[in-house]
Amino acid sequence: MITCGRYIRSILYLLLLISVQFGPHAVEGVWPLPQAFTSSPERYPVNSQDFYFVYGRQSAAQQGCSVLDTAFKRYFSLIFPDHNSADGVLGFSKRKLFIAEISVDHGDCEGYPNEDSSERCNTGLETFSQLVYQDDFGSYFVNKTEIDDFPRFQFRGILLDTSRHFLPVQAILKTLDAMAYSKFNVFHWHIVDDPSFPYQSSTFPDLSSKGAFHPMTHIYTQSDVRRVISYARLWGIRVLPEFDSPGHTTSWGKGQPGLLTPCYKGGTPSGTFGPVNPALPSTYRFMARLFKEVSSVFPDSYVHLGGDEVDFHCWRSNPDVRVFMQKMGFGGDFTKLEAFYIENIVNITSALNKTSIVWQDVFDYHERRTSLSVVEVWRAGCYLCEVRRVVKAGLRVILASPWYLDQPGPTHNWARYYTVWPLAFKGSEEQKKLVIGGEVCMWGEYVDATNLTPRLWPRASAVAERLWSDEKQTSSVDKAFPRLQDFRCKLLRRGIQAEPLYVGHCKHEYQGI
């Protein structure tokens, strides 16, 4: 991962052939806080004309590595926003005044980040970029700093909902930028739902041509999807697709007749439709073909199958479904019917070598839990009670319940997302290791491209630190506030329209208006 090297280990050596100066600390700190961080008043001037990145001699990756070459250019521009070009970031200056030497011990430059990608580092590029600052005269400096860093949780995600409101590709890419700055590493793409089906399937083109808000302007083509995945790769971000079923599928039915369950009223079809019909063999043939495509388009080893909020009324009204349930021995227990359906979908994705994630509803209703792998806990209430139940069953957990940011709220309530303790439940160390991380959910009922960025940031950054940093070092809201305020100003200078935390100003205000 580029924030700290999406390689096994990234070491950033600063070879300084310049005079040492002493001055005030001009950086409040790094966000999210590294595991070990020591800074001194000893500082070094940094000049864009004399600064360049080089690969270490022992580095497993060398020049030509697409991920790092791109990162060097990108971070040169972030470190020196006033500089017009990043053309000289790789190479050798005649004066050789400031060299940032990068060493990694895993050279998979063309692969995709995955759940096993180590992010441990001495100083990553994102961290280093936050340490460089400007004085009042426009000169750049960096203080002598020692860092050892790694994430507390391996899964640190943000969910975007592109069904309830369509998000242009550019808005998604902008979010990926901001995610990398906060060291999020999973983009959970809730790409389709009841209102619209914007994913343009090559196997079933009618799904988007009839199910999207508009068949030309409000769709994600195969090229769009590849662009998002490729862009995310260069930031070290995984793209996790979600195709939620059997509920939340109203839009699917428009382009795939016979997929949804016909609802009955008074013994006759009412003309309305409910969840996916789990009683028909054709359903599973369709799903097998769709997920075969999805597994080839999205390279990540995980796929989210949804499974939440299934309304049983329509299934209950349908005589064919009731006959099927009797035949299967389910009686009148529709949770067993849902479990049967999900188990079939899990088997389909398992055959495609994908690890499935499901919402907690599936776990709650599932008797045969051995087929499940990862459960995402989303319901409010005692969410840690649910986490404890899931890990006691030996399953992995992603926590989302406390981090629903789609509802508007004052930015100063960032502390409620910060003071969340994901492992504060009774359990063994082995059970707590099954909590693989958490994610921010940005549902789309009231969110589109006009308000996505300010609603996410900087509140999502509070979650980022909770998922990355040591809990004991980051338990104080008061101590975190000046760092977050400083980080919010960095986001503004990088073009991210992050909301203010309180009264005050940034040296470089947002210029995008």
Which residues are identified as catalytic?
309
- The Cα 178–Cα 175 span in angstroms is 5
CB within 8 Å of 305: residues ≥ 6 apart: 242, 243, 244, 245, 342, 345, 346, 349, 356, 357, 358, 362
d(CA 159, CA 74): 25
Inter-CA distances, 321 with 246, 251, 279, 407, Å? 14, 21, 6, 37
3-class secondary structure per residue, 379-421? CCCCHHHHHHHHHHCCCEEEECHHHECCCCCCHHHHHHHHCCC
What are the tokens at 231?
Answer: 């862009």
In the beta sheet, which residues pair with residue 36?
A: 148
Q: Sheet of 21-22: strands edge to edge?
A: 21-22, 36-46, 140-148, 133-134
Cα atoms in the 13 Å half-sphere on the side-chain side of 117: 29
Angle between helix axes 222-234 and 66-79 (nearest 10 degrees) is 70
User: What is the DSSP code (8-state) at residue 50?
Assistant: G
Neighbouring residues of 71: CB distance < 8 A, sequence distance ≥ 6: 2, 125, 234
User: What does 487-507 look like in DSSP terms, one character per residue?
Assistant: HHHHHHHTT--PPPSSS---S
Element (DSSP H or E) covering residue 53: strand 51-55
User: 437 φ, ψ to 5°?
Assistant: 155, -155
Going 108 to 110 to 113 to 119, the CA torsion angle's sign is positive
CB of 499 closer than 8 Å to CB of 491: no
Under a CB-based contact definition with an 8 Å cutoff, are residues 297 and 303 in contact? Answer: no
Residue 139: closest CA among 216, 41, 268, 50: 50
CA–CA dist 212, 252 (Å, integer): 9
Q: Which two tokens stand for residue 511?
A: 């210029």
d(CA 376, CA 354): 16
Residue type at position 111: G
